[in-house]
Amino acid sequence: MALLSSPETSQEVPLPPEIRAKASVGPVKTPRILRWLDFFLSETLRNAPPEELVRHRVLVAAACFMLVLAMLYLVSTLFSPYSPLPGIAGVLYLAILVAARKARTLVVPAVIMLVTLTIGFLGGIFANKTNLEGGVHATNMLLPAFAVYLLGPRRALPFVLFLVVVMDVVHPLYVLRHADSTDPAFSLARFWVRHVMAGIGFLGIWGISALHSTARDAAHHSLERALQKLRASELKLSSIIESTDDIVVALDPEGRLLVANSATERFHRLMVGKELELGQTLFRYSKPERIQLWRSRLALVREGQRLRYEEPYEARGSRIVLDISLHPIFGETGRTVGVTLFARDITQRKEAETRLGEMHRTLVDVSRQTGMAEVATGVLHNVGNTLNSVNISTTLVTDRLRRSRVTGLAKAVGLLRDNLPELPTFLTSDSQGKQLPPYLIAVSDELVEEREGMLKEMQALAQSVEHIKSIVSMQQKHARSAGAVEQVDVPQLIDEALRLHAVSFERLAIRIVRDYANVPLIFVDRHKLLQILINLLSNARHALVDSEQEDKCLRIHVERSDDGERLRIDVTDNGVGIAPENVARLFTQGFTTKKTGHGFGLHISALAAEEMKGKLSCNSPGPGQGATFTLELPVKGETA
């Protein structure tokens, strides 16, 4: 894993061009033409929100364009009778640019622009003696739309009403007073109707523009609300991810980094000595063999598999062991769109297990030297089995947290990322997007439920500790007496033994089949029987783990013998099996078929069975065909 690889002994894997380009791009550079327009804006106007800044730039661009036209028209007057209007218009357009440079709002420059355009409009229709209907030209309809765009519907209304009065009243009266009514081409009725329609057109354009402006503002407010919800959701999501000290990483299907929490960044700095970069592959600084191993694992996850494994890493003279989980993220089509990685530092737990093993071996040696090897090995082995159950119980708490909460949140991250280009629409319109904020709220409720579950698991842990005390106490009593006998429900005791292995069975996908007949309660040493059952289940688990069976099955059968005198317990697995020459030696002290075994478990279990007037035996068809361990106990002193 690149986050944990040493840079001194690794090689760098180059990023894909598109990711490298994204990582190297700095702030977006403003186009030159926009920088020219921004030059005429005050600092306040330049720092306006994007939608307002566009309006400011449009005003400046319009002023510059009209100024150029005025100057060209002024130059053309050199070859025709002089007119002061182009010069006056040019001065007004310059005034707009000066006002925009100093203004804190757009109102003053916009008013100057509209007044200038209105003066030009009035000058055009009143000064033209030959074309009396120039005021109804379609281009004049741009004035109301431009006014609404610059000032908004309410502030633009006085300009529009003024234009309507001019078109429907003032200009017709002016024409009636000065027009040549004897001109056969002139029709007063048509003239009046066109001007009235032009006035109505001004109002219509204002209304349509106002409607557009209102709709745009409503859409903007809706977008702002959606963005606020998005920011709140992202804050909640980030808070949850950042609340853990575990490594939490989201990757794309190619293994490139998309999201990482602060714990990941700290770990990367510790192990590599460099800052973590989004877009980099996890094995950017890894050795080639580790890169190849990671790619094979990533390929399995892309196919929909979940992986969990432990892996050691060396960094700066220290050894760290991580418990790593890889989970696929599925899109709407069922295709894998990403991968989540969770890793927990279990170095201290591994060191504790090592110390426990060393203590176990040391105590066995000491016990043998003092002549108490038989008692000591029994105590240590039984305590060791139960301590494994204690370790499993503590692991269960972390597994529940990792499985139920963080994985769901990672999927929520995947949904947000998949719909990032259209996130507001996704949160407000998409069926899944609408459910995302309520889901984040539900996470808090789930935490409460998880707390209750952990309290229950702690109670189970306390029971396991009590069981350890009982084992030691019973072994001490056994040195002086035969041990206490009590009435025991055998199927119930088997279920208790199974519960001590439940987490490991579930993690290893071992299927448990219970086949309990209706058997009576028997009087037996409860703790001795429990230790025998725990040892048999532990051996079956190891046999299944070492086998290549896809369907790993553990079957427990309880029945009463045909003569009714004995109770029979069969523990059958379809694991690695036992060679015929080893079956007879299984219960000999020190004999084991496991590389890390001590050969005490089955020996002590056989002795305990004999002490309870019972018998422990084994049968196996051969290697690769599983095995069956049978415990027979007398049914004496039974009660109905």
At 405, the pLDDT band (50, 70, 90 cuts) reads low
| pLDDT of 572 | 94
Considering the domain architecture, whether residues 457 and 498 belong to the same structural domain is answered as: no
Q: How far apart are CA 468 and CA 465, in angstroms?
A: 5
Give the pLDDT score at 400: 66
Looking at the structure of the chain, the number of domains it has is 3
pLDDT of 1 > 50? The answer is no
Q: Is residue 318 part of a domain?
A: no
In a domain, 251, yes or no: no
Is 50 exceeded by the pLDDT of residue 159? yes
The CA–CA distances, whole Å, from 507 to 301, 307, 392, 502, 520 equal: 17, 11, 11, 9, 33
| Mean predicted confidence (pLDDT) in 478-506 | 74
Higher pLDDT, 37 or 463: 37
Inside any domain, residue 427: yes
Q: Are 527 and 470 in contact (CB under 8 A)?
A: yes
Q: What is residue 373's predicted lDDT score, i.e. its pLDDT?
A: 43
Question: What is the structure's pLDDT at 187?
Answer: 63
What mean pLDDT is predicted for residues 389-413? 66
- Residue 161: which H helix or E strand, with range? helix 153-165
> Does the pLDDT value for residue 374 go beyond 60?
no
pTM of the model: 0.40
Is the model's pLDDT at 294 over the cut of 90?
no
Say whether pLDDT at 27 is over 60: no
Q: Which pLDDT band, with edges at 50, 70 and 90, does 5 fall under? A: very low
Mean pLDDT of 579-608: 74
Domain final position from 481, 509, 543: 481
What pLDDT was estimated at residue 614? 92
Do 487 and 440 belong to one domain? no
CB atoms within 10 A of CB 3: 27
Same domain (yes/no): 382, 447: yes
**DSSP H/E element including 628:** strand 627-634
Residues 492 and 467 both lie in one domain? no
pLDDT at 571: 95
Query: Of 219, 246, 263, which residue constitutes the final position of a domain?
Result: 219
Concatenated DSSP letters of 549-600: -SSEEEEEEEEE-TTSSEEEEEEEE-SS---HHHHTTTTSTT--SSTT--S-
3-class DSSP string for 331-396: CCCCCEEEEEEEEEECHHHHHHHHHHHHHHHHHHHHHHHCCCHHHHHHHHHHHHHHHHHHHHHHHH
- At which of 481, 496, 513 does a domain end? 481
| Whether residue 537 has pLDDT greater than 70 | yes
629 has a pLDDT exceeding 90: yes
**Rounded Cα gap, residues 248 and 344, in angstroms:** 9
Residue 137 falls within a domain, yes or no? yes
Q: How confident is the model at residue 480 (pLDDT cuts 50, 70, 90)?
A: very low
How many Å apart are CA 499 and CA 493, to the nearest integer? 10
Give the whole-angstrom CA distance, residue 559 versus residue 223.
Answer: 70
- Compute φ and ψ for 252, nearest 5 degrees: -85, 175
Residue 130 domain-assigned?
Answer: yes
357 in the same domain as 213: no
Question: Does residue 517 sit in the same domain as residue 442?
Answer: no
545 domain-assigned: yes
- Of the listed ranges 21-30, 55-64, 314-323, the least confidently predicted one is 21-30
Residue 458: pLDDT band (50, 70, 90) is: confident
- Is pLDDT at 376 greater than 60 in this prediction? no
For range 60-65, the mean pLDDT:
90
Gyration radius from the chain CA atoms: 43
Tokens at 96, concatenated: 């707009």
**For residue 202, is pLDDT > 80?**
yes
Same domain membership, residue 584 and residue 541: yes
For residue 46 the two structure tokens come to 């330049």
Domain shared by 554 and 443, yes or no? no
If asked whether residues 131 and 213 sit together in one domain, one would say yes
Euclidean distance between CA atoms 46 and 397, whole angstroms: 55
Quote the CA–CA distance of 435 and 419 in Å, as a whole number. 14
Cα–Cα distance, 382 to 433 (Å, whole number): 53
Q: Which range has highest mean pLDDT (4-8, 105-109, 198-202, 417-421)?
A: 105-109
Burial class (CB within 10 angstroms; exposed 0-12, middle 13-18, buried 19+) of 288: exposed
Confidence band, pLDDT 50/70/90 cuts, at residue 116: confident
Domain span holding position 595: 483-634
Q: Is the pLDDT of residue 104 over 80?
A: yes
What's the CA gap between 278 and 504, in Å, rounded? 36
Do 541 and 472 fall into the same domain?
no
Q: Is residue 150 domain-resident?
A: yes
Quick one: 455 and 514 in the same domain? no
Q: Look at residue 554 and tell me whether its pLDDT is greater than 90.
A: yes
Shared domain for 435 and 383, answered yes or no, is yes
Domain annotation covers residue 253: no
